[in-house]
């Protein structure tokens, strides 16, 4: 298992912590407010790296920022209507979307990676699927999964032409600017912004964590990792997110995993290993030739 894969696994582990954090924060703020505030914080962190970015980095960063913000916002708003487990499962559908969307950019379907993706989705379904469907929440979350699938593919194409921190910085600053604009439109008066600040006060530690660590830090590491990992393979790795989310919910919220959860999680781990093992075998064969 190479270093880039380990980096993406670490990113996924940190993202797994955000499901319970965001759901707890929705008791005080709505999903759109959480998304806007977390990226305002992330934008402050990354602004120094974006100031001297080239015009091409800004162009590519703007596109990535729009797609990523759509994914984050729809997922966060969807969590207002459905459970974290259900959100994790629906979000994981992007692992099946990535290889097929990749065909539009000249990619090829890999039987090994598609098999790993299907196995991962089955595992997440066994682990996370439950009742409580909501048309709006489900629809927004699936739309977010689609946007994220596009993001994974486009990032893999763009990152080859930029320094990782520069591309991520322009992306995050754009997301912060859009978040700030949204807040000003929806909270046009000083009094309404004051009310927003009061509502956010109990969850500021969570917002700082989401902004600094889960957004600025992990988007940077994702770009570093995806420089050397194909998008369809990266998508399989990212299916570990709900597994880590369930683990942290068990540790922090004392939720029960149960036999079904453990079995589903084991299938996801097996899917990630399958994708990596197949890839490693091809690399060795190529070197031997």
DSSP one-letter code for 228: S
Q: Supply the pLDDT for residue 146.
A: 94
Q: Supply the pLDDT for residue 285.
A: 43
Q: Supply the pLDDT for residue 215.
A: 92
Q: Supply the pLDDT for residue 7.
A: 94
Q: Supply the pLDDT for residue 209.
A: 96
The dihedral over CA atoms of 3, 5, 10, 14, expressed in degrees to the nearest 10, equals 150
Question: What is the separation, in whole angstroms, between the first and last Cα of the chain?
Answer: 21
Q: Supply the pLDDT for residue 110.
A: 75
Q: Supply the pLDDT for residue 26.
A: 83
Stated pTM of the model: 0.80
Listed as ranges, residues in the chain with pLDDT below 50 are: 278-289
Q: Supply the pLDDT for residue 279.
A: 45
Tokens of 230: 């194909």
Q: Supply the pLDDT for residue 216.
A: 94
DSSP 53-100: --HHHHHHHHHHHHHHHHHHHHHHHHTTTS-HHHHHHHHTTHHHHHHH
Closest listed residue to residue 227, CA positions, set 168, 287, 146: 168
| Signed CA dihedral, 77, 78, 80, 84: sign only | negative
């Amino acid at each position: 298992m190479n270093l880039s894969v380990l980096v993406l696994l670490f990113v996924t582990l940190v993202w797994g912590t955000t499901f319970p954090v965001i759901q707890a924060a929705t008791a005080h703020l709505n999903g759109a407010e959480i998304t806007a505030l977390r990226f305002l914080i992330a934008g402050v962190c990354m602004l120094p790296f974006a100031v001297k970015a080239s015009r091409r980095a800004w162009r590519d960063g703007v596109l990535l920022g729009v797609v990523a913000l759509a994914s984050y916002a729809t997922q966060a708003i969807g969590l207002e209507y459905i459970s974290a487990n259900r959100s994790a499962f629906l979000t994981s559908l992007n692992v099946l979307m990535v290889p097929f969307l990749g065909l539009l950019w000249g990619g090829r379907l890999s039987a090994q990676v598609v098999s790993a993706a299907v196995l991962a989705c089955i595992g997440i379904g066994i682990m996370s699927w439950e009742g409580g469907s909501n048309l709006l929440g489900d629809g927004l979350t699936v739309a977010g999964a689609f946007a994220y699938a596009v993001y994974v593919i486009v990032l893999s194409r763009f990152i080859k032409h930029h320094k990782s921190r520069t591309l991520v910085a322009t992306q995050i600053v754009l997301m912060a600017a859009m978040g700030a604009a949204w807040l000003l439109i929806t909270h046009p008066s000083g009094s309404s912004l004051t009310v927003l600040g009061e509502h956010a006060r109990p969850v500021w530690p969570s917002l700082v964590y989401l902004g600094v660590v889960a957004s600025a830090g992990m988007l940077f590491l994702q770009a570093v990792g995806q420089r050397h990992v194909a998008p369809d393979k990266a998508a399989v790795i990212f299916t570990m997110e709900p597994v880590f989310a369930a683990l942290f919910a068990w540790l922090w919220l004392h939720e029960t995993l149960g036999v079904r959860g453990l079995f589903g999680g084991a299938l996801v781990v097996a899917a990630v290993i399958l994708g990596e093992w197949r890839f490693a075998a091809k690399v060795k064969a190529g070197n031997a030739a």
